[in-house]
Amino acid sequence: MSEVERLNLVRDYWKHADAGLRDERERMQTGFNFYVGNQWDAADLEKLAAEKRPALTINLILPIINLLAGIQRQGRQDITVAARRGGLARLAEVFTETLRHCMDVTDADYEIADCFLDGIIGNKGWIGVGVDYSDDPLGGDLKVSKVSPFDMREDPDAREYDLNRSGRFVIRDMWMDKEAVKLNWPGKVGDIDAGGLDVDPQSSDVAGGADAGVLRYRVRECWWKAFEKRIVLINAATGVMRVVDPAQAELAAAIAAQSGRWTVKEWVAPVLNKTVTAGNVVLEDVRDPYSGVTAFPYYRFCPYWVDGYVMGVVQNLQGPQQEVNKRRSQALHNLNQTANAGFKVKKVLNNYDRHLAKHGATPGVVLDESKAGGKIERIEPAPLSQGHITAAQMSAGDMKEISGANPDLLGHVMEGILESGKAIELRQAQGMKVVEVVFDNFSRTQKLLALGLVDMIRFTDVYSDAEIRAIAAEKLGTAELALLRSRKVGKYGIKIASSSTSPTARYANFMSIMEIARMYPEQIPAAVVVENSDLLNKEKILHDIAGRSCGDGAGEGRRGTDGSGKRLQVSRGAVNTLSRPQGRVG
């Protein structure tokens, strides 16, 4: 395609997504407004202010969302790579170790947690995968980061949760000033200086200006898929596919007929493309940027997915939340109106009515009945409106039921009933079933992310051979290293398992390990017990155990003692420091 055709392609995709996702983005903005406490319409606030009436915000959405976010953080997922058809178990273990290393050094747990929070608030969260060349200009570092959902636009016609199944494109918006654009794409300085970024200042592609400060431009990073018809040889045993030159189609057919293992098929294959534009300039255009990886490098989390309609947790809480705010505000207004109901006297002398108006509401005021001309009686104020309070309480209860943050999930003890900790835990587990859809969809997103990371590790040079050896030295032989990046070793899948980080769950796991170690002292290494503990200096203890075991004699290999004569089998992987060979640590 020509540069003009590329520009038009990205613009058409962006306009199509912007129009198709407009309602979703409005709902997203409303969700974030309600979470931070901006829960009143501007017109209602203006009207109440003119009438000098209160506008209370009793933000009950905040603790509900924080509860769900806390559950996710205390039950983070453990990711394991499993060998499937044609795959090798040892290589799957290497992928697992490398993937975990990537997650550790990029602080992916925190980025993933932020993605979850975005999703339950604003209906959709995004996590991105890329290569950062800041510290390693040659190979780069694999990077996992949360992306603002307001910066993302994907194909609105995609009807699958996995965007790679039916989505044609995904676009990320980035806002940069002219100098930043030049620094990031130095090869395009000439086009930029020639006015390539000078578009209509009133358009949505420009922000800022003389009044707002530095002019910034919308940079569109568009990932889109083209499809090519190919002739491929497919190995029925391993699922390996080899692309065949059309001129050698007859030879491929002959090979397939003779071997019995290979089959010739015509196959339409997707090819990932990256096109970056700003103004009227194509800043970057790369075909197959990740050497055969066809998955989009952005993954979305949708808490509720109903045939393409995306919904978060906050959306259905907005009505009850507004009801709470309005009823509480009305009750306070009524209370303010009737708190000082005034006084009643038979006859007023000496302008005593003015004295009452000025001082009657003063705390501790002394009123002289003789000066008033007769007996003074305070008018009893109307009681607090129980109807408004009851309506507010009902709405607050509705919010808990709608969100799933009900008493079972919160672990509230029922009045008059004495429950054990185990019983409360079981009720919490029962309460989790209400929000299971949300967490199940989040597990699906993490699985798709992990599959994408494995492909990036497998088919690109972002992890060098030396780095992979350092990370998984025990599990990888020299002869197998070449197979790591080969497409001939079959398929691999991802297993997602909950790995709770709550203190109670960690303590329960540790006590289980201790009990097993007491039953089988010869089989359970001391390093395993220490690894599952919460000791602050456990890394030093593990290092000391490994040092003693290594110095126990050549004939014993890596076996040592724990000081009591019992033999230890210490795994090098338990104390291996996952850092780059150059000595960088995290």
Report how far apart, in Å, the C-alpha atoms of 296 and of each of 133, 232, 293 are. Answer: 20, 23, 8
pLDDT of 150 reads 96
Most confident listed range (213-222, 256-265, 342-351, 353-362): 213-222
For the stretch 59-113, pLDDT in tens is 999 999 998 998 898 888 788 888 776 667 777 888 888 888 888 888 899 999 9
- The DSSP code for 91 is H
Residue 571 pLDDT = 39
Among 51, 27, 64, 28, CA closest to 324: 64
**Where does the pLDDT of residue 564 fall: very low under 50, low under 70, confident under 90, or very high at 90 and above?**
very low
Q: What is the mean pLDDT of residues 170-189?
A: 93
Compute the chain's Rg from CA coordinates: 33
For residue 557, what pLDDT is reported? 36
Segment 567-583 shows an average pLDDT of 37
Report residue 339's pLDDT band, with 50, 70 and 90 as the boundaries: low
Instruction: Mean pLDDT check: name the lowest of 290-299, 314-323, 362-371.
Output: 362-371
Minimum mean pLDDT among 92-101, 295-304, 411-420: which range? 411-420
Question: Which band of pLDDT confidence, cut at 50, 70 and 90, is reported for residue 209?
Answer: low
The token pair that represents 75 in the structure block: 């039950």
Is 552's pLDDT higher than 90? no
Better-scored residue on pLDDT, 74 or 48: 48
Question: 495 Cβ partners below 8 Å, 6+ apart?
Answer: 79, 80, 81, 82
130 conformational bin, left if phi > 0, alpha if psi -120 to 50, beta if neither: beta
CA neighbours closer than 13 Å in the CB half-sphere of residue 238? 15
pLDDT digits (tens, 9 = 90+) for 502-521: 555 566 677 778 888 888 88
Q: How confident is the model at residue 585 (pLDDT cuts 50, 70, 90)?
A: very low
Q: How many residues does the chain have?
A: 586
Residue 138 predicted with pLDDT over 80: no
Mean predicted confidence (pLDDT) in 268-277? 92
Give the model's confidence band at 383: pLDDT under 50 very low, under 70 low, under 90 confident, else very high: low
CA separation for the pair 482, 459 (Å, rounded) = 11
Cβ neighbours for 229, distance < 8 A, ≥ 6 positions apart: 266, 267, 268, 269
Would you state the structure tokens that stand for residue 269, as one six-digit string? 């294959």
Q: Quick one: pLDDT at residue 578?
A: 30
Task: For tokens 């992987």, name the residue.
Answer: 573
Q: Which of the residue ranges 236-245, 249-258, 468-477, 531-540 has the most confident prediction, judged by mean pLDDT?
A: 249-258
Average pLDDT over residues 335-363: 64
CA distance 302 to 442: 7
In this prediction, residue 408 has a pLDDT band, given cuts at 50, 70 and 90, of low
Residues 6 or more apart whose CB falls under 8 angstroms from that of 339 comprise 381
What pLDDT is stored for residue 366 in this prediction? Answer: 65
- Evaluated on CA atoms 80, 83, 85, 86, the torsion sign reads positive
- For the chain, percent of residues with pLDDT exceeding 90: 34
Instruction: Supply angle C-alpha 381, 387, 393, rounded to 5.
Output: 120
The whole-number average pLDDT for the span 471-494 is 62
- Residues pairing with 219 in the sheet: 174, 278
Contact between 124 and 525 (Cβ < 8 Å): no
pLDDT at 395 over 60: yes
pTM of this prediction?
0.76
Q: pLDDT at residue 461 above 70? A: yes
Q: Quote the pLDDT of residue 499.
A: 56
Would you state the pLDDT for residue 501?
Answer: 52
- Residues of the chain with pLDDT > 70, as a percent, come to 72
Q: How confident is the model at residue 582 (pLDDT cuts 50, 70, 90)?
A: very low
Q: Which strand (E) or helix (H) includes residue 399?
A: helix 386-403
Q: Does 52 score more than 80 pLDDT?
A: yes
Query: In the predicted model, what is the mean pLDDT of the chain?
Result: 79
Q: pLDDT-derived band of residue 565, with 50, 70 and 90 as boundaries? A: very low
Given a cut of 60, whether residue 574 has pLDDT beyond it is no
Structure-model confidence comparison of residues 268 and 167, the more confident one: 167
pLDDT at 59: 94
Tell me the pLDDT band of 260, cut-offs 50, 70 and 90. confident
Give the per-residue pLDDT at 269: 81
Across 202-220, average pLDDT:
77
| 554 has a pLDDT exceeding 50 | no
What pLDDT is attached to residue 276? 96
Give the burial string for 366-382 (b: 16+ CB within 10 Å, else e): eeeeeebeeebeeeeee
Name the residue with tokens 């006015």. Answer: 195
